[in-house]
Amino acid sequence: MSKKSSETLAKDREYHRDPEVREKEKAQGRKKRVENRALVLQAYGNRCACPGCGESHVGFLVIDHVNGDGAAHRQKIGGGGSVMYHWLIKHDFPKKGFQILCANCNMAKGIYGKCPHETERSGETP
């Protein structure tokens, strides 16, 4: 009797360790993250906010903290990425302080303070 139940337990553990099951769970998690991402990006306009860019391929778009307070915000809500998308959905897509940038513009803004697209437009030399 007790032998049988411990066998069932072992089987249970095996089920959860099954790479196929784990792969499936991972795929479901990924699908959910992609869905949340699409929802958030759509709410913010599905387009890079940088003047002179206008990238609209969702795969390249990220949510940007307009005032550069992303690190503090991520710390406050307990993470970035999917945590952030979930937070934005839960808070009904707050428009103040958030915008969409593409990965290029976002990276450049992080390094230079603003994107080279903007510098080009204003005629300054970087």
* d(C-alpha 42, C-alpha 38), whole Å: 6
Count of positions on this chain that bind Zn ion (CB under 5 A): 8
Residues in Cβ contact with 122 at an 8 Å cutoff, skipping those fewer than 6 apart: none
Q: Can you spell out the DSSP letters for 49-95?
A: -STTT----GGGEEEEETTS-HHHHHHHHT-STHHHHHHHHHTT---
Site for Zn ion contains 88 (CB under 5 A): no
How is residue 16 written in tokens? 């959860």
Give the up-direction half-sphere exposure of residue 92: CA atoms within 13 A in the CB hemisphere.
Answer: 0
Site for Zn ion contains 105 (CB under 5 A): yes
Tell me which residues in 12-41 interact with Zn ion (CB under 5 A). none
How is residue 103 written in tokens? 């990965």
Site for Zn ion contains 50 (CB under 5 A): yes
Question: Which residue lies nearer to Zn ion by CB, 18 or 120?
Answer: 120
Interface with Zn ion (CB under 5 A), residue from 48, 63, 84, 88: 48
Question: Which residue lies nearer to Zn ion by CB, 29 or 113?
Answer: 113
Site for Zn ion contains 117 (CB under 5 A): yes
| Residue 84 CB, nearest approach to Zn ion (Å) | 19
| Residue 30 CB, nearest approach to Zn ion (Å) | 25
Give me the residues that bind Zn ion (CB under 5 A), please: 48, 50, 53, 55, 102, 105, 115, 117
